[in-house]
Amino acid sequence: DVKVTQSSRYLVKRTGEKVFLECVQDMDHENMFWYRQDPGLGLRLIYFSYDVKMKEKGDIPEGYSVSREKKERFSLILESASTNQTSMYLCASSLSSLGSIAKNIQYFGAGTRLSVL
Amino acid sequence: KNQVEQSPQSLIILEGKNCTLQCNYTVSPFSNLRWYKQDTGRGPVSLTIMTFSENTKSNGRYTATLDADTKQSSLHITASQLSDSASYICVVSPSSGTYKYIFGTGTRLKVLA
């Protein structure tokens, strides 16, 4: 089974702190994603990575950056946390965006619930 | 604007009953449609995925249907169990090879004993 592991289930940080959210997948997937999930809204894409050191902005990249130095690890960075970044953050991976539909099924981590005070 | 709308927002049913969740989308072009189950406090898990040429897909007690002409999909749950209590999310992919999926806001299902 594919396993996507997010390093923390819950985090509480102060406004202005630099925050790192880590995600690791164990299936050699090419693609990794960071989403945030807020009540009443669908998942919104923050950043996407299709290879090591490669990234694409999603729909809401402002206030976030990412790092993918190794294929299995994708980090989300909040440079200076703000209260409006309080949310559930979900990491996902998929084998590929090309080829059969089965290759781009996304596998999600359990999520990190971040509270910024 | 590409949108995915799900109904109802929430639903309560008794254990053993069937239910149907709806998904309407205004996404063009269209490649495929997925249904995910998300347990409280967990990440979504894929249930089914259908391309425009498929009109039904089953996964155990879950059966998804797709009408690409009317841009509607439904997820039917048969003989519900307590463990079916979760949010069900409909996701549409605008084209093959894209990473920008369009997520619905989900239907929250509660199954009571």
Q: pLDDT, tens digit, for every residue of A38-70?
A: 998 989 999 999 999 999 999 999 999 999 999
Q: Do A92 and B96 touch (CB under 8 A)?
A: no
| Cis before A39? omega within 30 | no
Q: Do B32 and A97 touch (CB under 8 A)?
A: no
pLDDT band at A24 (very low <50, low <70, confident <90, very high): very high
User: Residues of A with CB below 8 A from B97's CB?
Assistant: 97-98
pLDDT band at B92 (very low <50, low <70, confident <90, very high): very high
**Residue A61: DSSP 8-state:** -
For residue B2, what pLDDT is reported? 84
Interface test with A, best of B34, B49, B87, B101 (most A CBs within 10 A): B101
Q: Give chain A's mean pLDDT.
A: 93
Give the C-alpha separation, A36 to A111, whole Å: 9
Give the C-alpha separation, A5 to B49, whole Å: 23
Residue with tokens 């090879």: B97
Residue B111, pLDDT > 90, answer yes
Q: Do A42 and B34 touch (CB under 8 A)?
A: no
For residue A98, what pLDDT is reported? 67
Q: Which of A31, A58, A105 sits opposite B46 (nearest CB)?
A: A105
A41–chain B Cβ distance below 8 A for any pair? yes
> A32 to chain B: nearest residue by CA?
B99
